[in-house]
């Protein structure tokens, strides 16, 4: 009986290890391909809803190996795992209003990259973002809202009057670009992972109506 139990443990461990390796070995490009395919399914209402079984919950009980980080807005219309048609343990989500950067966000990305082996980070703004709209309207109703607005203001200053896009859309996109660039600049460890270990950080924009994620680089 004891031998049988040990064999069972060995099989479980091997299975979990192979799953972990399989995901850990995903390059940034492979991870991006999975996200793009999932988003296409979402746009066309042909979702597979992967990794949402009881077995998946069991697999993840003592470990996680997500293959992508998505930094995005807290907006209820922008849930990354639904938009990319992924499931439990697939996407490491970091969210706040306006997808702004602070030490907590940087630390969270660093954890996912260094300790969970993620090679792809997406910074995703979205259509009609309330936090960016508040920045355009210069809303400073409390020190906490001001903190968000102040973080988005640099993107507002990037607006080009000759742009074909309206100021809100342009600022949301510039904010995603600004956050992606600053994430790279702010963290030496992430910088090293980009130069030497295949990490990619990409800005993106989510269209609320079509469900499409537009990659900005």
Q: What is the binding site for Zn ion (CB under 5 A)?
A: 73, 75, 129, 131
The smaller minimum CB distance to Zn ion, of residues 59 and 75, is found at: 75
Shortest Cβ 75–Zn ion spacing (Å): 4
Considering the complex, what minimum distance in angstroms separates the CB of residue 78 from Zn ion? 7
Alpha helix segments (H runs only) across the chain: 2-24, 28-43, 54-59, 80-83, 103-116, 130-136, 143-157, 167-186, 188-196
Residue closer to Zn ion, measured from CB, 71 or 131: 131
CB of 130 to Zn ion, least distance (A): 5
**How far is the C-alpha of 43 from the C-alpha of 38, rounded, in Å?**
9
DSSP secondary structure letters along 72-92: E---TT--HHHHTT--TTTEE
Q: Give me the least distance between CB of 152 and Zn ion, in Å please.
A: 10
Which C-beta is closer to Zn ion: that of 56 or that of 140?
140
What is residue 161's three-state secondary structure?
A: coil
- How far is 169 from 167, CA to CA, in rounded Å? 6
The residue among 50 and 79 lying less far from Zn ion, judged by its C-beta, is 79
């Amino acid at each position: 009986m004891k031998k049988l139990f040990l064999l069972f443990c060995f099989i479980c461990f091997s299975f979990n290890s192979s799953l972990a390796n399989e995901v850990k070995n995903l390059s940034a490009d492979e991870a991006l391909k999975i996200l793009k395919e999932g988003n296409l399914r979402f746009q066309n209402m042909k979702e597979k809803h992967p990794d949402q079984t009881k077995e998946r919950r069991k697999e993840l009980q003592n470990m996680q190996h997500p293959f992508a980080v998505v930094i995005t807005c807290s907006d209820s219309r922008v849930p990354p795992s639904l938009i990319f048609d992924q499931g439990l343990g697939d996407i490491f989500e970091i969210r706040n209003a306006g997808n702004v950067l602070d030490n907590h966000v940087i630390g969270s990305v660093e954890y996912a990259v260094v300790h969970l082996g993620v090679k792809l980070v997406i910074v995703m703004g979205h259509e009609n973002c309330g936090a960016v709209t508040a920045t355009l309207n210069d809303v400073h109703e409390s020190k906490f809202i001001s903190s968000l607005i102040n973080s988005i203001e640099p993107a507002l200053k990037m607006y080009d009057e000759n742009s074909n896009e309206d100021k809100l859309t342009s600022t949301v996109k510039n904010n995603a670009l600004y956050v992606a660039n600053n994430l790279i600049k702010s963290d030496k460890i992430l910088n090293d992972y980009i130069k030497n270990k295949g990490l990619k950080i990409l800005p993106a924009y989510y269209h609320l109506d079509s469900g499409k994620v537009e990659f900005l680089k």
